[in-house]
Chain A
Amino acid sequence: MAVSTPDTIVQGGKGGAPKSPNRRWAMGFLIAAIVTYLFYAFVVPNLGAAGKTFVSTWIPAVATNEALVWVICAVGLNIVVGYAGLLDLGFVAFWAIGGYTAGWIMSTFIQAVNPGFYLASAAYPDQPGIHINWWLVLIIAACLCAFAGVLIGAPTLRLKSDYLALVTLAFGEIIPQVFLNADKFTNGARGIAPLDNVSPLPFGPSAITIGDVKIPISQPLGPFDTSAKFLLFAIVAAFAIFVSLRIREGRLGRAWLAIREDELAASMMGVPLMRTKLAAYAVGAFMGGMGGVVYAIHTNSVFPDRFTFSISILLLAMIVLGGMGNVWGVMIGALGLAWFNSTGLPQFGFWFNGQFGTEINFPSYSFLILGAILVLMMLFRREGLFPETRTRQILREAERSDAEELDGGEV
C-alpha cells in the first residue's frame, strides 16, 4: 500500500493540481482498512447481543467485503470512463471473465468436465482439478482480462461515443451468455462451486511448529473467514487505487486526458488514438479481472446469472456519483452505493415495513431510487460528490464568463 511514496510529491506531472490530498486520502484509506479489520476481527465477537444484531443488520462483514469488490471494479472502470472518457456499458464482461478464471483454476471443476485431467498440487494432494494459489490466480485472471479487453477493444474502439457505448453494452451481454451456455466449459447455470480456500501468502507453509506450539502463518481461509478476507481484499483494492493514481501522472495519463478533451487535437499532437484507448481498456479490464477473482472468492462460487447488465450500470453510477476521474471519489461512491444496494435499502425496507405494517418490496425499487439520485446529481452537482480538481474548474468557468460578459465581453 505504498500509495504515498515521496515520489508522488517530487514528480510534477499534474502541474497545477496539488499533491498532498493524495497522501492524506491514502493515509485515510490505510487507517480505515486497519480499523475496519480490527473492528470485525476483535470488537464484533466481543459485543453484546444487541451490538451484534446491529452490526449484522446494518454493516455486516459480508457486505463490507463485497463493497471492496465494487471498489476494485469501479476504480478500474474509472480508468476507461473517467480518465480516457470512453463510455463502457459492458464492464461486467471482465468481472465475469475474472470470476470464471478463478472458477477454472482454483477448484475441482476441471475434473468434473474433463475426468482425465489431473493436476497435482501440494496444497490439495488428495483433490482432483487445478488448485493454484489465489495470488497467482489474481495475476493470471487480470492478465487474461487485459488481453480480452484488447480483443474486445480493437474492433470496438474505432467507434465513437454513443456507438461505442452500444457495442460495449452488447459485449457485456454476450460474454455472460457465453458462460451460461458453454455448458461443457462452465457448467452452465449450475455454475462452479465451491472454490478453494485461499492462502493469505503466495508461498510457504500454512503453519510452523516449534516444539509443541503450532504457529499459524498462512492458514487457508474458508468461506466464513470474512474478516481475514477483508484484509486481502483491501490489499487488492489498494493496489488498484495505487495503479490508478500512478498511471494518471505520466505520459499515458496525459494522453488519456488529451483524448478525453479533444480526440482530433490529440492525434494531431502525435498521440496514437487506438493504442492509447486500448491501453485504457486493458488497464481497466485488468482491474475488472481482479475484481472478478475477488468476487468469486468472496462468494466462494461462480454463477453466470450474477453477471447482469445492472452491474455495469451500478458501476457507472458509482463513478458518476463519486466524481468521475477522481479515484478517491469513485472509491467513496462505490462504497456508498454498494452498501446502499446490498444492505441499506433492504434493511431500511424491513424496518419500514415492520414499523408501518406495509409490505413494500424496497430492494425492487433500488434502480428507481438510483435513477432519482442521478437525476438530482445532474441537476445540482454534475461533477459528483468528490470531483477532480480539473472538472471543478468547469463550474467556475461558467461564473467567470458571466462576469466577463458584464465587463463588456472583453476576452
Chain B
Amino acid sequence: MSTDVVTDVMPLTASNITVRFGGLVAVNDVSFTVPPASIVSLIGPNGAGKTTFFNVLTGLYRPTTGSVHLNGRNITGQTPHKIASLGLGRTFQNIRLFGLMTAAENVMVGMHSHTTSNIVQIVARTRHQRREEVESRAFAQEMLDFVGIGRHADEYARNLSYGDQRRLEVARALALRPKVLLLDEPTAGMNPQESAVFVDFVRRVRDEQGVSILLIEHDMSVVMRASERITVLDQGEKIAEGGPEDIRNNPRVVEAYLGRTGTEGSAR
C-alpha cells in the first residue's frame, strides 16, 4: 500500500476507496484529500455515490478496499464515535439535532469525548467534575456565540428557527474540535440570500476555527462560490477534480449532469 506515504500532512485522506454492496459497486476506487484550512466540495448527480463515500469517511460503512486517514492516523473501519472524537465533525442533510435538549446541551454533547468525568465523579460531584462542567458550559456558550445564536443557548433545539438549527449543528460539530468538518447539503431549504450568507459563514468557520471543510452540496452557486477545489463523482467514480472554473468547463461534468447530447455545444 502506497497510502502511508502521503497521509501525514493532510487533515483527511481517502485512498482508493471502493465500496461494493453485493454486486453493486457504489464507489469505485476513489481517492480524495482535504488539504489544511481549505474548503473543498464533493458533487455529483443523484446516485453518484456521494452519500456512500461520506458514510465511509464517517465510519458508518467500512470500505471494501482502500483506507481513510485522519490527520495521518488510519481510521478505516473505526466506529463513528471514535472517528468523531479523533476530529471529524459533521452536520446532517436533514437536520438531526437533539430536539428536546437546549442549544447549549446540544453543543455539550459534542464535547463528550473531550470530557472525562466518570459515573462516581458525576454522582459525587467532585471538584474535577464541577470544573469540567463549568468549562463545558463556557465553551458551549463560546461556540454558540461564534455561530451567532448565543442568545438562544437555553432554548430547546426544536424551537429554534431553521437557519439557527443549521448554525447549531455547526456549533455542535465544532465542539468536537475537529480537524475536518463535513457539511452535508447545509443550504438545503435556504433561499439564495440565506445561502449566500451561509457561504460567508462557512468561510468564517474555516478562517477562525482553523478547520478544513468538506462540502456536499447540490446548489451549484454555493459550490462554485465557496469551494477552492471541487471533486465530481458520477456512478461511483471520480470523473473530475479541480478549481471551480475547471469544473464549470469540464465536458465530462457537464455530461454527467445534463446528459450526452448530439452536439458538444448544446450541452451548455
Q: Residues of A at under 8 Å CB distance from B?
A: 5, 7, 11-16, 242-243, 246-247, 250-255, 257-258, 261-262, 264-273, 279, 283, 390-391, 393-394, 397, 411
Q: Say yes or no: is B18 at the interface (Cβ < 8 Å to chain A).
A: no
List B contacts of A266 (CB < 8 A): 98, 109
* B100→A261 contact, CB < 8 A: yes
Residue B133 lies at the interface, judged by CB distance under 8 Å to chain A:
yes
Instruction: Report chain B residues within 8 Å CB of A265.
Output: 92, 96-98
Chain A min CB distance to B136 (Å): 7
CA distance A258 to B130 in the complex (A): 21
B84 at interface, CB cutoff 8 A: yes
Are A13 and B110 touching (Cβ within 8 A)?
A: no
The distance from the CB of B193 to the nearest CB of chain A, in whole angstroms, is 15
B73 within 8 A of A: no
Instruction: Flag if A13 contacts B156 (CB, 8 Å).
Output: no
Contact A251 B123 (CB under 8 A): no
B147 within 8 A of A: no
A7 vs B105: C-alpha distance in the bound complex, in angstroms?
18
Q: Is the CB of A269 within 8 A of B176?
A: yes
Contact: B96 with A262, CB < 8 Å? yes
Interface hub of B119, B134, B159 (most chain A Cβ within 10 A): B119
| CB atoms of A246 and B123 under 8 A apart | yes
The complex places the Cα of A243 from the Cα of B129 at a distance, in Å, of 15
A336-B192 Cα distance, complex, nearest whole Å: 57
Measured CB to CB, the closest approach of chain A to B144, in angstroms, equals 11
B155 at the interface (CB under 8 A from A): yes
B98 to chain A, nearest CB (A): 4
Contacts of A12 in B (CB 8 A): 137
Within 8 Å of chain A (Cβ to Cβ): is B85?
Answer: yes
Distance of A79 Cα from B137 Cα, bound (Å) = 24
What's the Cα separation between A393 and B160 when bound, in Å? Answer: 13
Question: What does the 1/0 interface line of B105-118 toward A look like (CB < 8 Å)?
Answer: 10011111111010
Against A, the Cβ 8 Å flags (1 = close, 0 = not) of B59-99 are 00000000000000000000111101100001010001111
Kindly state the separation between the CA atoms of A370 and B114 in the bound complex, as whole angstroms. Answer: 45
A251 touches B105 (CB 8 A): no
Q: Is the CB of A264 within 8 A of B96?
A: yes
Nearest 9 CB-CB pairings of A with B: A15-B102, A270-B113, A250-B122, A261-B98, A270-B84, A265-B96, A270-B85, A390-B100, A16-B154
Establish whether residues A411 and B161, one from each chain, have CB atoms under 8 Å apart when the complex forms. yes
Output the least CB separation between A235 and chain B (Å).
16
Residue B156 contacts which of A253, A255, A390 (CB distance < 8 angstroms)? A390
Tell me, in angstroms, the Cα distance from A12 to B119 when the chains sit together: 18
B173 touches A (CB below 8 Å):
yes
Known contacts being A250-B117, A254-B101, A257-B100, is A269 close to B110, with CB within 8 Å?
yes
26 A-B pairs within 8 Å (CB atoms) are namely A11-B134, A14-B105, A16-B102, A246-B122, A247-B123, A252-B122, A257-B105, A258-B101, A262-B97, A262-B98, A264-B96, A265-B92, A266-B98, A267-B79, A267-B80, A267-B81, A269-B81, A270-B176, A271-B112, A390-B100, A390-B101, A393-B158, A393-B159, A397-B158, A397-B159, A411-B162
State the majority secondary structure of interface residues on B. helix
Q: Chain B contacts of A268 at CB under 8 A?
A: 58, 80-81, 84, 90, 92
Contacting pair B122 A247 (CB below 8 A): yes
Residues of A contacting B: mostly: helix
A254 touches B119 (CB 8 A): no
| Known contacts A7-B125, A254-B112; A270/B100 CB under 8 A | no
Residues on B with C-beta less than 8 A from A391 are 100
B167 within 8 A of A: no
Q: How far is the CA of A94 from the CA of B103 in the complex (A)?
A: 36
**B102 lies within 8 A of A250 (CB):** no
- CB-defined contacts of B172 to chain A, threshold 8 Å: 269
Q: Which residues of B contact A246 (CB under 8 A)?
A: 122-123, 125
A390 vs B158: C-alpha distance in the bound complex, in angstroms?
A: 11
* Nearest B residue to A271, CB-CB: B112
The residues of A that contact B48 with a CB separation of less than 8 Å are: none
- Quick check: B98 and A270 within 8 Å, CB to CB? no
- Which residues of B sit under 8 angstroms from A271, Cβ to Cβ? 81, 109, 112-113
> Which residues of the other chain, B, contact A16 by a CB distance below 8 angstroms?
102, 154-156
A250 touching B133 by the CB < 8 A rule? yes
* Contact partners of A255 in chain B: CB under 8 A: 109, 112
Q: Is B37 an interface residue (CB 8 A)?
A: no
Q: B223 contacts the other chain (Cβ, under 8 Å)?
A: no
Q: Which of A242, A251, A397 contacts B112 (CB 8 A)?
A: A251
What's the minimum C-beta distance from A278 to chain B, rounded to whole angstroms? 11
A11-B133, A393-B156 known; A251 and B100 CB under 8 Å?
no
Q: Give the residue name and chain of the A residue nearest to B116 (CB).
A: A251
Shortest B18–chain A CB gap in Å is 23
Assembled-state Cα–Cα distance A285/B129 (Å): 24
* Residue B104 CB within 8 A of the other chain: yes
Q: Are A283 and B119 in contact (CB under 8 A)?
A: yes
Question: Cβ of B173 and Cβ of A269 under 8 Å apart?
Answer: yes
Q: CA A411 – CA B158 in complex, angstroms?
A: 12
Q: Compute how far the CA of A397 lies from the CA of B99 in the bound complex, rounded to whole angstroms.
A: 11
